[in-house]
Amino acid sequence: MALLVQKFGGTSVGSVERIQAVAQRIAASREQGHDLVIVVSAMGHTTDELTALARALCPEPPQREMDMLLATGEQVSIALLAMALHSIGVPAVSMTGPQVGIVTESAHGRARILEVRTERLRKRLEEGQVVVVAGFQGTSSGSAGTPEITTLGRGGSDTSAVALAAALGADACEIYTDVPGVLTTDPRQVSDAQLMEEVSCNEMLELASLGAAVLHPRAVEIARNYGVPPVGRPRRSDAPRPRLTSGMPPPIG
């Protein structure tokens, strides 16, 4: 039995049918005896739609209010996925970033994770529940010491997943995507681009700096610094690809 952190992006939970398919995949993993923490993004283009609504009302909206707004997208996803799991007999609980103990800097819109307090999360796992976590968000202490919702920047759900895996000492962090993996070059430019079975974190960071939108750069940094081995998995296949390699220092948390 393994402790797995699995992350599903916005396309994977973009409709009722896709949420149900994700729930079936999670149920299959649980039947294999695994403990599961599931990190999800907002449905489809929700973040873009919410951003457009904000800017229609205020051309330069306050970043704090943007965090309050954008964090709702992931909360819709986690609640719906938890309901889908319950409907097929899988005990599950949804938790926001603040509820799961993700503590960040105070910089709204681009906060970095400072620590993950895992006590509440571990208790839920010990109770046998699948924990469905809102990616992309956390909490910080504001200037008056009042907890504030923060977001991690676009693509931050990858960061949430890798940070949770590091804090929990998970056996693997599986990133489910709609792309087959990391390719040797841009397939739109080179027709015979090849899949890479293994990529170092340093190589992945370099690719990200050149515009490769496979993993969020901060997620790769955490993977490198804390020895988390993320595995990319195409959403419609169980074949793992690619594996990021790094050293294995002790987990955070």
Q: Where are the domains of the chain?
A: 3-245
CB atoms closer than 10 angstroms to residue 22:
23
Question: Contact 213/178 with Cβ under 8 angstroms?
Answer: no
**What pLDDT was estimated at residue 217?**
67
How far is it, in rounded angstroms, from Cα 166 to Cα 193? 32
pLDDT in tens, 14-73: 999 999 999 999 999 999 999 999 999 999 999 999 999 999 999 999 999 999 999 999
Predicted model pTM? 0.82
Q: Which helix (H) or strand (E) holds 46?
A: helix 46-57
Place of tokens 């599986």: 174
Average pLDDT, the chain: 83
CB atoms closer than 10 angstroms to residue 182:
22
Domain 3-245 belongs to what topology? Carbamate kinase (3.40.1160)
pLDDT band at 252 (very low <50, low <70, confident <90, very high): very low
Strands 147-151 and 137-141: antiparallel
Indicate whether 114 pLDDT > 60.
yes
195 Cβ contact list (under 8 Å, min separation 6): 180, 181, 182, 183, 184, 241, 242
How far is it, in rounded angstroms, from Cα 15 to Cα 19? 6
Handedness of CA 11, 14, 17, 20 (dihedral sign): positive
For 110-135, b/e burial (b = at least 16 CB within 10 A) is ebbbeebebeebbebbeeebbbbbbb
pLDDT band at 177 (very low <50, low <70, confident <90, very high): confident
Indicate whether 247 pLDDT > 50.
no
Handedness of CA 162, 166, 167, 171 (dihedral sign): positive
Which residue from 213, 68, 74 is spatially nearest to 155, judged by alpha carbons?
213
Indicate whether 183 pLDDT > 80.
no
Tokens of 65: 């209010």
Indicate whether 137 pLDDT > 80.
yes
Cα distances (angstroms) measured from residue 65 to each of 42, 61, 210: 17, 7, 31
Q: Higher pLDDT residue, 201 or 240?
A: 201
pLDDT in tens, 221-231: 776 666 676 56
How far is it, in rounded angstroms, from Cα 43 to Cα 80? 10
Indicate whether 6 pLDDT > 60.
yes
